[in-house]
């Protein structure tokens, strides 16, 4: 009898090992030692069944959400990910550091930064094994799942915002294109109408027979002529600012030189290439950024020196632009009004990289990296 019960116990344990927790064994009326073991195993089966159901529910939710989920231990090592996260097939569970696949701008260690900023959504880039970048908004929470992981971990939730970023970029591009078309139209109108009229007036003034006019009226005519000349020059500058004629050539260096010739700040200029392989759209974007930066340096920073460097390496063009002005506090909000977002959007619209830094008393620095298409 006992031998049969012991055999049944071993069969029941084998079933539990296979995850079949629904089976139980009846206890005898004796309620002896073997019955107490059977009852213990039955209760263990009930507990395991519930734990397994909880685990399965968790796994289903974990794998069906549309966000990328990472479970990361306190050392920043990825110990788990959901189906969406498995596209990062470079990840080796229990080996890969989260910071190795995640990049947050200006941050050295993405994991440590996230832990310090729990509860905040932070924009970042995740890199897949094929070096594809996925733009995400990530946040971190403490995470405990005793049935699956021995220690308390962190759950990192990453929302893929690549499409949203692309949509935003298309809007920015459309706005910039509209602005440029409008600038071109205004510049053409000024040049063709007001410019032509001013030139006509100048010709008419020069055609006046000065001998028939009293000396005091000649003085008035001379003053008119001088004011007219100044207006024509100013009109040309306005037209240049709106849309330099040289932009048609896409020669960024020539246009920048033309722009710099009008500034009173000393310029230190260097380049490792006489011709930059930029298309018209890229040239225009960089030119507008220079225009904005130089305008700010002149108006606000009291800069005495502008340092400009173009460094072309393969198809990568790195442009560094800095002034030695008063600088400003990047944490204050008013600096955003100084056209920084416009500059950033311009460079992002040509898929370039833009970084900007300013230190009070030391000046302001701007760096652009463009992958040239030409």
Partner 1 sequence: MKIENNYIKYEIINDILIGTYKAKYIDLDIAKSVVSLRKKFTNNLKYPVLIKDNNTVKIDKSARDYFASDAGAQGINAVAVIANSVYKVTLMNFFIVVLPPKMPVKLFKSEEKAMNWLEKHKVIFHE
Residues engaged in binding partner 1 (CB under 8 A)? 27, 31-33, 35-37, 39-40, 42-44, 46-47, 49-50
Distance of closest approach, residue 47 Cβ to partner 1, in angstroms: 6
The DSSP code sequence of 102-135 is EE-TT-S-HHHHHHHTTT--EEEEEE-TT--EEE
- Looking at the Cβ atoms of 39 and 253, the one nearer to partner 1 is 39
Q: Is 45 or 327 the residue whose CB approaches partner 1 more closely?
A: 45
As measured in angstroms, the least distance from the Cβ of 59 to partner 1 is 21
Residues 74/151, Cβ–Cβ less than 8 Å: yes
Minimum distance from residue 26 beta carbon to partner 1 (Å): 10
Give Dmax (Cα) for the chain.
143
Q: Give DSSP secondary structure letters for 132-152.
A: -EEEEEEEEEEE--TTT-SS-
Number of H helices, E strands in the chain: 10, 11
CB of 50 to partner 1, least distance (A): 7
CB of 42 to partner 1, least distance (A): 8
Nearer to partner 1 (CB atom), residue 6 or residue 174? 6
**CB of residue 16 vs partner 1: minimum separation in angstroms?**
15
| 46/219 with CB nearer partner 1 | 46
- Whether the CB-CB separation of 360 and 328 falls below 8 Å is answered with yes
CA distances from 171 to 103, 178, 179, 349, 354 (A): 25, 11, 12, 9, 18
Structure tokens at 127: 């890199």
Alpha carbon separation from 230 to 112, 221, 281 (Å, rounded): 60, 14, 32
Question: Closest distance between partner 1 and the C-beta of residue 57, in Å?
Answer: 17
Q: Could you give the count of Cα atoms lying within 13 Å of 222 in the half-sphere of its Cβ?
A: 8
Toward partner 1, which CB reaches closer, 27 or 232?
Answer: 27
Q: Which is nearer to partner 1, 56 or 273 (CB)?
A: 56
The residue (of 19 and 314) whose beta carbon lies closer to partner 1 is 19
């Amino acid at each position: 009898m006992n031998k049969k019960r012991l055999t049944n116990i071993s069969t029941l344990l084998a079933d539990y090992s296979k995850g079949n927790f629904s089976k139980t064994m009846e206890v005898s009326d004796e309620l002896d030692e073997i019955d107490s073991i059977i009852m213990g195993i039955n209760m263990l089966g009930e507990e395991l069944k519930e734990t397994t159901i909880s685990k399965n529910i968790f796994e289903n939710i974990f794998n069906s959400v549309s966000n990328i989920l990472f479970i990361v231990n306190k050392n920043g090592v990825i110990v788990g990910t959901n189906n969406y996260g498995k596209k990062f097939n470079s990840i080796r569970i229990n080996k890969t550091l989260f910071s190795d696949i995640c990049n947050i701008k200006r941050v050295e260690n993405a994991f440590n930064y996230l832990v310090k900023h729990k509860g905040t959504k932070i924009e970042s880039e995740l890199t897949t094994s094929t070096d594809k970048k996925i733009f995400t908004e990530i946040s971190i929470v403490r995470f405990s799942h005793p049935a699956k992981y021995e220690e308390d971990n962190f759950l990192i939730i990453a929302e893929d915002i690549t499409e949203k970023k692309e949509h935003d970029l298309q809007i920015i591009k459309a706005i910039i294109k509209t602005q440029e078309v409008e600038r071109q139209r205004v510049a053409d109108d000024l040049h063709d109408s007001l410019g032509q009229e001013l030139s006509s007036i100048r010709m008419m003034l020069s055609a006046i027979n000065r001998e028939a006019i009293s000396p005091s009226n000649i003085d008035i005519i001379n003053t008119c002529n001088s004011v007219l000349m100044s207006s024509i020059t100013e009109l040309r500058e306005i037209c240049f600012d709106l849309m330099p004629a040289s932009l048609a050539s896409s020669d960024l260096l020539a246009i920048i030189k033309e722009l710099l010739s009008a500034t009173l700040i000393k310029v230190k200029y260097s380049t490792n290439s006489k011709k930059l392989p930029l298309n018209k759209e890229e040239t225009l974007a960089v030119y507008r950024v220079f225009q904005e930066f130089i305008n700010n340096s002149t108006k606000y920073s009291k800069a005495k020196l502008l340092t400009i460097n173009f460094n072309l390496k393969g198809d990568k063009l790195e442009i560094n632009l800095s002034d030695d002005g008063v600088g400003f506090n990047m944490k204050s909000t008013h600096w955003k009004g100084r056209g920084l977002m416009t500059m950033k959007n311009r460079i992002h619209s040509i898929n370039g990289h833009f970084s900007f830094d300013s230190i009070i008393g030391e000046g302001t620095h701007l760096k652009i990296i463009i992958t040239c298409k030409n």
